[in-house]
Amino acid sequence: MRSPGVLHCDTEILVPFFDVDTLHVVWHGHYVKYLEVARCALLDRIGHNYSAMREAGYAWPVIDMQLRYVRGAVFGQTINVRASLVEWENRLKINYLITDLASGERLTRASTVQVAVEITSREMQLVSPTLFTDAVERALK
């Protein structure tokens, strides 16, 4: 079973026409965009979003992503994307659950892993920067 995480954020997305194929099913690549929208909302909730990360001197590239498609979302469907913080001390791991908003039916589950990279030296950090971990600890209180 996937970890529910210590902190989560729900984001509702109405599937637009330009995200679907000729059968009105969301093209698989667009789910990555939905994860990003939810991840940004979670980082805002933590109080240390991508702007703050950059200002602190770090980039946070995605180094691993896993998606498991259960049922395709369709044009006009409102989906909920839950982003759950799982790890933050050495890397940023987020689990996701995409469900139909009306029924709660699971559509997709996913996870991403990101690491801090110092912008000036381009060196990957083996531990998350203190500014980030402090922001997580504040958000958990």
Q: What is the DSSP string of 3-37?
A: ---SEEEEEEEEPPGGGB-TTSBBPTTHHHHHHHH
Q: Is the pLDDT of residue 72 over 60?
A: yes
pLDDT digits (tens, 9 = 90+) for 75-130: 999 999 999 999 999 999 999 999 999 999 999 999 999 999 999 999 999 999 99
For the segment 6-33, the average pLDDT, to the nearest whole number, is 97
Q: Which residues of 76-98 are buried (b: 16+ CB within 10 A; e: fewer)?
A: ebebbbbbbbbebeebbbbbbbb
DSSP lists the bridge partners of residue 118 as 58
Q: pTM higher than 0.85 for the full model?
A: yes
pLDDT at 4: 80
Sequence-ordered list of residues with C-beta below 8 angstroms from that of 38, at least 6 positions apart, any chain: 9, 10, 11, 81, 82, 83, 96
Q: Is the pLDDT of residue 3 over 80?
A: no
pLDDT at 87: 97
Taken in order of first residue, the domains within the chain and their CATH numbers are 7-136 (3.10.129.10)
Token digits of residue 26:
């969301």
